Amino acid sequence: MALDAVQSSYDCVVIGGGHNGLICAATLARGGRSVLVLEAAAQVGGAAVTREFAPGFRVSAGAHLLHLMPADLLRELKLESHGLEWAARGMATTALLPGGAGLSLGAEAVQGGLSAQDAHAYAVYTARMRRFASALAPMFSRPPPRLGTTAWADRIALLRLGWQIRRLGRRDMRELLRIGGMNVYDLLEENFESAGLKGALGLDAVLGANFGPRSPGTVLTLLYRLAAESAAGATGLSQPKGGMGALCNALANAAAASGAAIRTGARVAGIRVAGDRAVGVVLETGENIDAANVISSADPKTTFLRLLGTRHLDTGFVRRVNHLRCRGLAAKLHLALNRAPAFGGVSEASLRGRLLVVPSLEHIEHAYNHAKYGEFSAVPVMEVTVPTANDPSLAPAGHHVLSAIVQYAPYALKEGWQSGRQRCLDAALDELERYAPGLRGSIVGAELLTPADMEQEFGMSGGHWHHGDLAFDQFLMVRPVPGAAQYRTPVEGLFLCGAGCHPGGGVMGIAGRNAAREVLNGSLNSP
Ligand SMILES: Cc1cc2nc3c(=O)[nH]c(=O)nc-3n(C[C@H](O)[C@H](O)[C@H](O)COP(=O)(O)OP(=O)(O)OC[C@H]3O[C@@H](n4cnc5c(N)ncnc54)[C@H](O)[C@@H]3O)c2cc1C
């Protein structure tokens, strides 16, 4: 991005031009602050970028589906007037079944040869989960309350959450309490008969997470995802035209239009501190930039341990950051194809949606077992999209791109990724071939990004797509760690704004906006 800064002193410097960093910058600039975004990579977007992976074939290299960014945020930043176009909105979800059939999972109904009992249970289950999700959704848009303070803002935030849950009524409240601590395997076993349906519904509880369906707390992770979707309002399951990178380019345009400067290829080497407060950053080149506030969208381990340095933090805080769990377990598969993939039981319309390769809950659990012992799954589970079905501009005419999240692929593979990569890729292709016979014969290019590659390419510690597990002990007022959960950090003038803080990862943007509001609400010193 050729928006070179001429100043060397700003109200706010934002480290990282992923979507959260850009949203934070746009919000600060709209609030009248002078803002500079410093992005290490050659393009903005972080793990939401579009790039070429085979000659003439482009793909959203990290995140491939937009479903968590609030519709009001998209409107607020006028992204459509800054270049955002949609290739698809309201995309469907289809669970592929062995033998060539498919289940079509709608918001309220499921279709595809299920028993009348499952069809009825689906309507009841999805309506109940939606009610729970909308009760939890309001907590996303605000900083999480601090515990044990006498501040009214914290008390009101806790009361508000309590009131939302109280409004569910006695039956729902009791049910929410009952299922809140359960694992998703038991919950789905209680409700459904069909193995394929249970597998498809269970995947959303563990996608991108260090869990199998029998892991404790997986109902909570599922509810969290549903609450984030509820907070996103009308956004739905969407694909930006030109891939996720096009969304981030529109965010960069919105930030620039509000006055923010953006420098790419500008890696921050350290956060400068004077008199116990952050006063700016130093780049890898040795260039110093002064700022009254430094807001980091890099993950918490990178921010505190590498950019700030432990000498500025007390040992208890450093221990908590060291203990943050952020080892990724998901790989990303990109295929360049010379024809459209032919999945059994999938219509042309369904090919434009989200396809799930998850035969059963047991299958997910078996796939997860490998990861516990440092191996990739012999038969992985996958979330697949064919982005060219909605956006032919991503490949040469008549050709296609397949993009899949492949679980489980541990960051620290026991045998090492150098020897494991091809075998993991083959395992994923073998599984896809079962559902789309002939797929292998149409492949003209392939890429598998492991968590270790993602750490390298996107700068995420451990290659974890949420910058840290989204789990009960890393949610809300303990995300990423106590002492930094309200975007402020123990060092005055240093804030966090990335996926590692509340409400977490995914292309949501709320962390970036919430953090900017905290900066704007606080006293802002001039550099
Ligand atoms: C394989 C994969 C698939 C995913 N699929 C989905 C999906 O389909 N839908 C969804 O909603 N989410 C998905 N996600 C999650 C989502 O992509 C991330 O949670 C999100 O991109 C995080 O955004 P962020 O802005 O907080 O951080 P990031 O995107 O990680 O951006 C942080 C930025 O900081 C920069 N940076 C780091 N250190 C420095 C430094 N020292 N100096 C300057 N810059 C620095 C990095 O280069 C990066 O650009 C996926 C993630 C992955 C990896």
HSE-CB for 26 with a 13 A CA cutoff: 30
Q: Give the E-state strand segments of 7-105 in sequence order.
A: 9-15, 35-38, 50-54, 57-60, 86-88, 93-97, 101-105
**Residue located via tokens 């035209």:** 241
Position 147 confidence tier, pLDDT thresholds 50, 70, 90: confident
Q: State yes or no: pLDDT of 7 exceeds 80.
A: no
In this structure, whether the domain defined by 2-50+68-85+238-325+461-521 belongs to CATH 3.40.50.880 is answered with no
More confidently predicted of 332 and 161 = 332
> Does 63 contact ligand 1 (Cβ within 6 A)?
yes
CA 480 to chain CA centroid, Å, is 15
- Domain map of the chain by residue range? 2-50+68-85+238-325+461-521, 127-235
90-105 b/e (C-beta count within 10 Å ≥ 16 → b): ebbbbbbbeeeebbbb
Give the rounded percent of residues in the chain with a pLDDT score beyond 70. Answer: 98
pLDDT value of position 336:
98
Residue 344 tokens read as: 């059994």
> Does 68 contact ligand 1 (Cβ within 6 A)?
yes
Q: State yes or no: pLDDT of 67 exceeds 50.
A: yes
> Does 18 contact ligand 1 (Cβ within 6 A)?
yes
Q: State yes or no: pLDDT of 6 exceeds 80.
A: no
Distance in angstroms (rounded) separating the CA atoms of residues 42 and 45: 10
| Most informative mutation of 204, 297, 407 for ligand 1 (most atoms within 8 A of CB) | 297
CA of 194 to the centre of ligand 1 (A): 35
pLDDT value of position 345:
85
User: Which residues are paired to 268 by β-bridges?
Assistant: 283
pLDDT value of position 201:
98
pLDDT value of position 204:
97
pLDDT value of position 227:
95
Taking residue 148's Cβ as centre, other Cβ atoms within 10 Å add up to 6
- Region 286-292: mean pLDDT is 98
Q: State yes or no: pLDDT of 4 exceeds 60.
A: no
Distance in angstroms (rounded) separating the CA atoms of residues 34 and 36: 7
Position 524 confidence tier, pLDDT thresholds 50, 70, 90: very low
Q: Which atom of ligand 1 is nearest to the CA of 296?
A: 34
CA of 21 to the centre of ligand 1 (A): 10
CA of 460 to the centre of ligand 1 (A): 7
pLDDT value of position 55:
98
pLDDT value of position 384:
98
pLDDT value of position 131:
97
Stretch among 85-99, 211-225, 418-432, 466-480 having the lowest mean pLDDT: 466-480
More confidently predicted of 40 and 149 = 40
pLDDT value of position 445:
98
Q: Which atom of ligand 1 is nearest to the CA of 466?
A: 19
Q: What is the average pLDDT score of the chain? A: 95
Tens of pLDDT, residues 401-427: 999 999 999 999 999 999 999 999 999
Dihedral angle, C-alpha 354, 347, 386, 341, nearest 10 °: 130
Q: State yes or no: pLDDT of 526 exceeds 50.
A: no
Q: State yes or no: pLDDT of 28 exceeds 60.
A: yes
CA of 262 to the centre of ligand 1 (A): 17
- Region 131-146: mean pLDDT is 91
Q: State yes or no: pLDDT of 5 exceeds 70.
A: no
Q: State yes or no: pLDDT of 178 exceeds 70.
A: yes
Residue 332 tokens read as: 């990303």
> Does 41 contact ligand 1 (Cβ within 6 A)?
yes
Q: State yes or no: pLDDT of 523 exceeds 70.
A: no
pLDDT value of position 392:
98
CA of 298 to the centre of ligand 1 (A): 9
CA of 346 to the centre of ligand 1 (A): 31
> Does 509 contact ligand 1 (Cβ within 6 A)?
no
More confidently predicted of 146 and 523 = 146
pLDDT value of position 157:
84
Position 254 confidence tier, pLDDT thresholds 50, 70, 90: very high
CA of 458 to the centre of ligand 1 (A): 6
Distance in angstroms (rounded) separating the CA atoms of residues 275 and 282: 17
- Region 292-319: mean pLDDT is 98
| Most informative mutation of 264, 458, 474, 501 for ligand 1 (most atoms within 8 A of CB) | 458
Position 356 confidence tier, pLDDT thresholds 50, 70, 90: very high
**Cβ distance 337 to 399 under 8 Å?**
yes
| Most informative mutation of 36, 39, 51 for ligand 1 (most atoms within 8 A of CB) | 39
**Start-to-end Cα distance in the chain:** 25
> Does 20 contact ligand 1 (Cβ within 6 A)?
yes
Q: State yes or no: pLDDT of 96 exceeds 90.
A: yes
**Cβ distance 50 to 34 under 8 Å?**
no
User: Which residue has the CA at smallest separation from atom 5 of ligand 1?
Assistant: 63
Q: State yes or no: pLDDT of 263 exceeds 50.
A: yes
